[in-house]
């Protein structure tokens, strides 16, 4: 076994790999960028090497520098994690050439599976079922259109070199094909440096079911069962679970064997995932035109489910912990053993599924704004259950690479943590997930925690009515605009008052008296804003020391006890325990029912701001200009898309804040822009 390995990654996966290495008494070397000096993954390793600037191309993608760091520290092997260099065949080869072990498949296998079109040709030869489509090298637009017509609409155009849900366009009818092809090619060349595409049948309401495979250097292969990753937004995974609900033993075995055949066809070594599109597992035919053409399909008589190869990811996946939970194995340990030349620790017949596991990706983003990624500092980062042991008792695991006080910067992806729960049954896992999500308290940046709770509580997810359209189908409940609750308003009023007292910022009667007693009735007014709706409120302290909250025409008795952020609150006779944190003008209230953010508008501080900001359109974060939708002189209306920027692996649309006329574009497509820079000017 290795004595020392270098981890060529950051964040949660770097911490994850370091934990297994420590358990196996293997020393670890971290690499880090400027932005990550002092990051959790650096502290998690035994040694660390600074490799450059914050932008990935200046650090985590500089593979020559990483190989030098391995040599300088005496590491024998490099674990690439996922993202960054993990699927870079040149890097895998460079490691081998430098006498270092790349903890992953051989460069030849990465190359063979690297392009979607080429890998599909290979899989066809290996007898793995494919989605009906065209994956040839002739890229003549007229030919592609003819192929699309032949396949039948809707079709999906995919960048062959694509990944991360990018470079895909669904086309519903022949007339739209060429325009979609054009835009797909443009995105593909910008993002992946190649504009080669493939065209395939766009399955309606399919499920994404993937198989974890493992190979060793001695020709042994196993599959570690499936994961259902159907709950997606923008073709990217949100929740993942294992096993897949409704899976039959027959289908599991057929898909497992197809995945092993795929791995064997490229002499795969190490951990890999074969992704499949699966028709509804319970045999229902999905929606109109939902059935994928039968040409290359595998028929499974018992359930009527058919599966089709989508792609192989030649690395560990973000969602590998759910497989670990149901198999009781450590996949990073298996990776290390295999890379060191050992045979696979177990044979197929020795592998079993125990219970059910679900992973939720907790991301810094705003679900209500098309999942726009968010940045900021983790002012509060409160996790469910205090210790590792407490968590494992409750079937809860958290993989993260951050600590309270850390910043989610625009340089990397928006994932803050992964929450993994395990239970004897899916129902138990679901209940644990909901409970654990309610105890995840993040203040300082927008997250999807509350959205995830909505998904978990949705009828579709609860019933395991899973398919890739789940989020769209449940839109009405997932993005529901909640009404401001009285408890939340009361908690906010109390938290604001207490925090002003503590900071001595406020000269109101509360802070001048001993706690809440005063010689005459005193009051404090608030202007709350919640989901763009304003509600004035008033907290009144009476002669006898009792309190009252006036809000929305009602006047309610209020009493509380505070201990740090914990509030025990009784309003209008209803009692609740919650936590409230103030962050500037915002108050974050966490209760078992949910997390709410409410703003207390400081009317004075905001006077004049709106006027000053009007007509200034600035970059919300550092990034690249992808395109402008307007030119100087254009008349635009409020909400109209003006420009598209790319940052944190996502595209952001900058919309007009008001009706007006575009004055000047200050950058060009392709330009890199710093945060806050003015992108264009308009006259309103």
Member of 8, 11, 456, 679 binding ligand ADP (CB under 6 A): 11
Neighbours of 573 (CB within 10 A): 7
165 binds, among Mg ion, ligand ADP, none (CB under 5 to 8 A by kind): ligand ADP
Q: Contact, 660 vs 684, CB < 8 A?
A: yes
Nearer to ligand ADP, 200 or 330 (CB): 200
Nearer to ligand ADP, 375 or 576 (CB): 375
Pairing of strands 307-313, 270-278: antiparallel
Residue span 275-294 as binding mask against Mg ion, x where in contact by CB under 5 A, dash where not: x-------------------
Tell me: does residue 318 bind ligand ADP (CB under 6 A).
yes
Out of 227, 315, 397, 432, pick the active-site residue: 315
Q: Minimal distance in Å, beta carbon 206 to ligand ADP?
A: 5
User: What is the Cα–Cα distance from 539 to 509, expressed in whole angstroms?
Assistant: 12
Query: 545's torsion region: left (phi>0), alpha (psi -120 to 50) or beta?
Result: left
Nearer to ligand ADP, 130 or 247 (CB): 130
Q: Which residues of 127-139 are buried (b: 16+ CB within 10 A; e: fewer)?
A: ebbbbbbbbeeee
243: cis peptide before it, omega within 30°?
A: yes
Nearer to Mg ion, 280 or 468 (CB): 468
Q: Minimal distance in Å, beta carbon 49 to ligand ADP?
A: 18
SS3 call for 102: strand
Member of 275, 365, 400, 465 binding ligand ADP (CB under 6 A): 275
Q: Total residues contacting ligand ADP (rule CB under 6 A)?
A: 32
Tell me: does residue 468 bind ligand ADP (CB under 6 A).
yes
162 binds, among ligand ADP, Mg ion, none (CB under 5 to 8 A by kind): ligand ADP
User: What is the Cα–Cα distance from 647 to 628, expressed in whole angstroms?
Assistant: 15
User: What is the Cα–Cα distance from 482 to 109, expressed in whole angstroms?
Assistant: 50
Give the DSSP per-residue string, 393-451.
Answer: HTTEEEEES--TT-EE-TTS--EEEEEEEEESSHHHHHHHHHHHHHT-EEESS--SHHH
Q: Contact, 260 vs 253, CB < 8 A?
A: no
Mark the segment that binds Mg ion (CB under 5 A) among 270-278, 468-476, 500-508, 606-614.
270-278
DSSP state of 364: S
318 binds, among Mg ion, ligand ADP, none (CB under 5 to 8 A by kind): ligand ADP
Nearer to Mg ion, 208 or 582 (CB): 208
Nearer to ligand ADP, 202 or 581 (CB): 202
Q: Which of 612, 579, 613, 582 is nearest to 600 (CA)?
A: 582
Per-residue H/E/C for 645-669: EEECCEEEEEECCCCEEEEEECCCC
Tell me: does residue 165 bind ligand ADP (CB under 6 A).
yes
Q: Which residues of 70-101 are buried (b: 16+ CB within 10 A; e: fewer)?
A: beebebbbbbbbebbbbbbbebbbbbeeeebb
Q: Minimal distance in Å, beta carbon 83 to ligand ADP?
A: 2
Q: Where are the alpha helices (DSSP H) in 104-226?
A: 107-114, 116-125, 141-151, 177-192
- Residue 300's Cβ-side half-sphere holds a number of Cα atoms within 13 Å equal to 23
Residue span 70-89 as binding mask against ligand ADP, x where in contact by CB under 6 A, dash where not: ------------xxx-----
Mark the segment that binds Mg ion (CB under 5 A) among 41-49, 272-280, 469-477, 533-541.
272-280
Q: Contact, 319 vs 211, CB < 8 A?
A: no
667 binds, among ligand ADP, Mg ion, none (CB under 5 to 8 A by kind): none
578 binds, among Mg ion, ligand ADP, none (CB under 5 to 8 A by kind): none
User: What is the Cα–Cα distance from 139 to 154, expressed in whole angstroms?
Assistant: 20
Mark the segment that binds Mg ion (CB under 5 A) among 80-88, 269-277, 325-333, 569-577.
269-277
Member of 34, 47, 93, 164 binding ligand ADP (CB under 6 A): 164
User: What is the Cα–Cα distance from 41 to 39, expressed in whole angstroms?
Assistant: 6
Query: 74's torsion region: left (phi>0), alpha (psi -120 to 50) or beta?
Result: left
Q: Minimal distance in Å, beta carbon 470 to ligand ADP?
A: 11
Nearer to ligand ADP, 312 or 489 (CB): 312
Residues between 211 and 240 that touch ligand ADP (CB under 6 A): 232, 235-237
Nearer to ligand ADP, 109 or 277 (CB): 277
- Residue 464's Cβ-side half-sphere holds a number of Cα atoms within 13 Å equal to 19
Q: Contact, 628 vs 669, CB < 8 A?
A: yes
Q: Minimal distance in Å, beta carbon 365 to ligand ADP?
A: 13
Tell me: does residue 345 bind ligand ADP (CB under 6 A).
no
Tell me: does residue 163 bind ligand ADP (CB under 6 A).
yes
Q: Is 315 a catalytic residue?
A: yes
Nearer to ligand ADP, 235 or 264 (CB): 235
433 binds, among ligand ADP, Mg ion, none (CB under 5 to 8 A by kind): none
Q: Minimal distance in Å, beta carbon 309 to Mg ion?
A: 11
Q: Minimal distance in Å, beta carbon 207 to ligand ADP?
A: 9
Tell me: does residue 413 bind ligand ADP (CB under 6 A).
yes
Nearer to ligand ADP, 288 or 637 (CB): 288
- Residue number closest to ligand ADP, CB atom: 83
**What positions carry a catalytic annotation?**
315
The contact set with Mg ion (CB under 5 A) reads 275
The contact set with ligand ADP (CB under 6 A) reads 11, 13, 82-84, 131, 156, 162-165, 200-203, 206, 208, 232, 235-237, 275, 277, 310-311, 313, 317-318, 412-413, 415, 468
């Amino acid at each position: 076994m290795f004595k020392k390995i270098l981890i060529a990654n950051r964040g949660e996966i770097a911490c994850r790999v370091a934990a297994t290495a420590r358990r196996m008494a293997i020393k670890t070397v971290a690499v880090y960028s400027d932005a990550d000096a002092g990051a959790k993954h650096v502290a998690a390793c035994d040694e660390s090497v600074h490799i450059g600037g914050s932008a990935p191309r200046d650090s985590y993608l500089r593979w020559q520098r990483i190989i030098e760091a391995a040599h300088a520290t005496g590491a024998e092997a490099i674990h690439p994690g996922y993202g960054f260099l993990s699927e870079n065949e040149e890097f895998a080869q460079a490691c081998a050439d430098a006498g270092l072990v790349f903890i992953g498949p051989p460069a030849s296998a990465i190359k063979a599976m690297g392009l979607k079109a080429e890998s599909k040709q290979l899989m066809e030869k290996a007898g793995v079922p494919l989605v009906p489509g065209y994956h040839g090298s002739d890229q003549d637009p007229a030919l592609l259109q003819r192929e699309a017509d032949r396949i039948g609409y809707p079709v999906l155009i995919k960048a062959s070199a694509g990944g991360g849900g990018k470079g895909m366009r669904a086309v519903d009818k022949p007339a739209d094909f060429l325009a979609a092809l054009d835009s797909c090619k443009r995105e593909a060349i910008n993002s992946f440096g190649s504009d080669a595409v493939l065209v395939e049948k766009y399955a309606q309401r399919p499920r994404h079911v993937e198989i974890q495979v493992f190979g060793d250097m001695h020709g042994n292969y196993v599959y570690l069962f499936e994961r259902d990753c159907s709950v997606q937004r923008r073709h990217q995974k949100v929740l993942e679970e294992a096993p897949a609900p409704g899976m039959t033993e027959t289908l599991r075995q057929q898909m497992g064997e197809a995945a092993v055949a795929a791995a064997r066809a490229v002499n795969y070594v190490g951990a890999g995932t074969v992704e499949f599109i699966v028709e509804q597992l319970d045999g229902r035919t999905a929606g109109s035109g939902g059935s994928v053409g039968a040409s290359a399909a595998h028929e499974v008589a018992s359930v009527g489910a058919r599966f089709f190869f989508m792609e192989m990811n030649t690395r560990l996946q973000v969602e590998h912990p759910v497989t670990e939970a149901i198999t009781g194995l450590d996949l990073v340990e298996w990776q290390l053993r295999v890379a060191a030349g050992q045979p696979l620790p177990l044979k197929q017949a020795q592998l079993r599924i125990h219970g059910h596991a679900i992973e939720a990706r907790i991301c810094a983003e705003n679900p209500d704004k098309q999942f726009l990624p968010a940045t900021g500092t983790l002012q509060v980062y409160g996790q469910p259950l205090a210790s590792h042991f407490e968590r494992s008792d409750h079937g809860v695991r958290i993989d993260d690479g951050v600590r309270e006080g850390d910043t989610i910067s625009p340089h990397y992806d928006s994932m803050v943590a992964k929450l993994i729960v395990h239970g004897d049954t899916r129902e138990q896992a679901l209940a644990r997930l909901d409970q654990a999500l309610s105890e995840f308290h993040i203040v300082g940046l927008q997250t999807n925690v509350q959205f995830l709770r909505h998904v978990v509580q949705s009828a579709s997810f609860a019933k395991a009515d899973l398919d890739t359209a789940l989020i769209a189908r449940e839109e009405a409940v997932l993005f529901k605009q909640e009404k401001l609750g009285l408890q939340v308003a009361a908690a906010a009023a109390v938290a604001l008052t207490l925090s002003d007292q503590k900071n001595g910022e406020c000269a109101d009667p509360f802070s001048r008296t001993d706690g809440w007693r005063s010689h005459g009735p005193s009051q404090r007014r608030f202007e709350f804003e919640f989901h763009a709706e304003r509600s004035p409120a008033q907290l009144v302290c009476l002669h006898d020391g009792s309190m009252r909250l006036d809000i929305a025409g009602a006047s309610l008795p209020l009493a509380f006890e505070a201990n740090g952020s914990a509030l025990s609150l009784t309003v209008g006779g209803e009692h609740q325990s919650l936590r409230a944190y103030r962050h500037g003008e915002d108050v974050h209230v966490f209760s078992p029912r949910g997390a709410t953010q409410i703003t207390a508008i400081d009317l004075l501080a905001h006077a004049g701001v709106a006027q000053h900001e009007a007509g200034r359109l600035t970059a919300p974060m550092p990034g690249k200009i992808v395109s402008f939708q307007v030119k100087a002189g254009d008349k635009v209306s409020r909400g109209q898309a003006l420009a598209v920027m790319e940052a944190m692996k996502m595209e952001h649309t900058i919309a007009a804040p008001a009706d007006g006329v575009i004055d000047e574009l200050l950058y060009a497509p392709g330009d890199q822009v710093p945060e806050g820079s003015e992108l264009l000017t308009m006259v309103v």
